[in-house]
Amino acid sequence: MVKAMPREYLSMRNDCSAVADSNCRFIYVDVGSYSKDSDSTIFKNSKLYQLIASGLLNIPEAQPLPNREGLDIPFVFVGDEAFGLSEHVLRSGKKLTNDKRIFNYV
């Protein structure tokens, strides 16, 4: 017999956020945010966001893409619509305005 979870558990359930690198390895995991919080609130309250915003994360300097000398491209994190745009945080997805798409490529 399957029982429903108590209401107290549902309101206290924690969520986690994670970052994976280009090799699909987790390089950052944040556990302990309440599920009622939005993704943007969870991110802005994270140590990762604080390090990015303060410039202390030690993100490599911008570099040209292979075979594309002359234009240095910054290293970035890619998130969904919940994440604010910044020099090192971009959005993917189909719901971007033209201004936000241009921001992602400039």
Lowest mean pLDDT among 19-28, 49-58, 86-95: 86-95
- According to DSSP, residue 62 is labeled P
Q: List, for residues 4-24, the tens digit of each pLDDT value.
A: 444 444 444 456 678 888 888
Q: List, for residues 65-87, the tens digit of each pLDDT value.
A: 888 888 898 888 888 777 778 88
Q: What's the rounded Cα separation, in Å, for the pair 20 and 40?
A: 18
Query: Which residues, 6+ apart, have CB-to-CB distance to 45 below 8 Å?
Result: 33, 37
Q: What's the rounded Cα separation, in Å, for the pair 76 and 13?
A: 30
Q: What's the rounded Cα separation, in Å, for the pair 71 and 42?
A: 33
Average pLDDT estimate for 51-70: 89
